[in-house]
Amino acid sequence: MIFYLKESTLQSKMFFVLLTYGVALSNGANILAMFPLPLYSHTNGIMPVIRELAIRGHNVTLYSPYKEATPTDNLTEMIVNCDISDIVDEAVKALHVSNKYKHYWVRWNFGISSVDRCLQDETIQNLINDKYSKFDLVITGSLYLQEPMTAFGYKFDAPVVTYMPVALTPWASYVTGNIHPFSYIPCLDLEASDRMDFLQRLENTLLNTLEIVGALYYHLPKQDAIMRKHFNFPEFTQAELLAEPDLQRHQLPYLLDLLKVSPLTMTNSHYSVGYQRSYHSNVVEIGGVTLKTSKPLPQDLKTFMDNATDGVIYVSFGSFFPTVNLDKSSREGLIKALGSVKQQVLLKWENDTLPDKPKNVKISSWFPQPSILAHPNCALFITHGGIQSLTEAIYYGIPIVGIPLKGDQEYNVKIAETYGMGVKVNQINMTRDSIVEAINTILRSSRYKENAVKHSRIFHDRPLNVMDNAIYWIEYVIRHNGAEHLRPATVDLVWYQYFLIDVLSIIIAPIFILLFIIYRFFKILLSSKE
């Protein structure tokens, strides 16, 4: 049983402090939220914050391909019709057949092609050419394959708050001036914890260096070209700029310079769903902001779960990778495994029918995942290991069997293993026996459930509600006219300054000069004796 923590007196007091600060913004700010790419799992992580900003009186204009189910006052939706399904399919196929080093090029090329196509959308082009709208703030995902979106901040002369659907990557850490030690922060493509051995640290260093250097010299120049292609700012020569300094405002800076101006980055992360790391004041963790008290189950699901005396196993591979798209052998191994256990099974299955469906399996193209995980009879979650799924499993204290398919999922499943609340099954080994063994390993030992509950308690034990914290910092940026003071000096240092190469060279150079002089002295001395 999970004991959900009640709000403490301290939390209540802090809430009223934040409420008092919010009075200063009672007129409401004009906020532009730019999330035009049809990547639901990425956009979904920031949507509760966008809705809450509108609820608290801000005028929010949202550019997104997803229509809100329920209208929200002060939230204006601009639907973007950007079909990138062919680009997604190509990227998914490439990720499955390439190694982790080539994954970077797959992701970069995906971002380049997707952003280029979405910026051609008529709705977005109208915004680019808009001469009359005014915005006080722009919120966008410009540090995760969508870098050109930060140009909207420059166009409207508004600060940009960046949202990251994962913890800071090496590239995002570089842009925001945050430290990212390769010695204990594993990259998202490495199956390792924060306690790495020598070979893991070596590979982590290679992968992280590849990400930063590749982003700087391959990905960013191409995204900069796309930005200039769609944002029709005139280009001026240096002579023209010197003659008329006011023209500078109409000249698009290099994309990296625009990214570094952002005063605040919000990450879909939290130390209870990852590893300990240090952030500057320009990074705020909002992991769990999408989670709230679960809604009651529909009656048919409630009856199904209430009557499951041996418990329920919930199976879902997220919104990005339909379960029906598993290869034939993996799919057959999964279905046979689920049919051989005594538990009842809820399987997210995107087709209306499942040939040879086991009697204990109930299928649907959609399930209310939080409500299922919150049910006391939910015994196990079989998942691809997406960050949202891992967060919800920890939130509700449910152990997992992780079957990572791509991207950061290896990293996330490793977190569950490190926490002692999960077991991994390799996709290439998705046989009936391997899946049944993983299920039995968890269900026959109480320690996995105990560890899941332990980390659930850690997740819930916060001094401040995560939504209030997110809103506070967004409004902080507005109150302080862009809050440039949040940006650390490291953002403006070049690499040899950051690593003190110039200082070390001054210290080391005299030593080498002295050694050279001694060498030459003895060489001359020996030659004179001869």
Q: Are residues 415 and 521 in the same domain?
A: no
pLDDT tens for residues 216-228? Answer: 999 999 999 999 9
Q: How many domains does the chain have?
A: 3
For residue 397, what are the CA distances in angstroms to 345, 369, 451?
18, 14, 8
Is 240 in the same domain as 98? yes
111/254 same-domain check: yes
Query: Is residue 372 in some structural domain?
Result: yes
**Which domain range does residue 507 map to?**
500-528
The string of DSSP codes covering 75-103 is EEEEE-----HHHHHHHHHHHHHS-HHHH
Q: Does 250 reside within a domain?
A: yes
- Residues 303, 219: one domain? no
Residues 280 and 323 in one domain: no
Q: Is the domain of 360 the same as that of 415? A: yes
469 within domain boundaries: no
* Residues 96 and 169 both lie in one domain: yes
For residue 56, the 8-state DSSP code is T
Rg (CA), the chain: 26
Average pLDDT over residues 385-406: 94
pLDDT of the residue at 239: 72
| Same-domain pairing of 245 and 372 | no
Q: Indicate the pLDDT class of residue 525, thresholds 50, 70 and 90.
A: confident
| 423 shares its domain with 504 | no
Q: What is the CATH number of the domain that holds 160?
A: 3.40.50.2000
Q: What is the pLDDT of residues 273-288, one digit of tens each?
A: 999 999 999 999 999 9
pLDDT at 14 > cutoff 60 = no
Does the model's pTM come out above 0.95? Answer: no
Q: What is the mean pLDDT of residues 181-187?
A: 94
Edge-first strand order for the sheet with 160-164 is 75-79, 59-64, 30-34, 137-140, 160-164, 264-267, 283-285
Return the structure tokens found at 378. 């939910």
- Domain contains 8: no
| 236 within some domain | yes
Statement to judge: residues 376 and 428 lie in one domain: yes
Q: Are 437 and 445 in contact (CB under 8 A)?
A: no
Is residue 462 domain-resident?
Answer: no
Same domain, 331 and 269: no
- Judged against a pLDDT cut of 60, whether residue 85 lies above it is answered with yes
- Confirm whether 471 is domain-assigned: no
Q: In this structure, is residue 454 part of a structural domain?
A: no
pLDDT tens digits along 292-332 = 878 899 999 999 999 999 999 999 998 767 787 788 888 89
Please tell me the predicted confidence (pLDDT) of residue 427.
86
Residues 182 and 260 in one domain: yes
Q: What is the pLDDT of residue 356?
A: 84
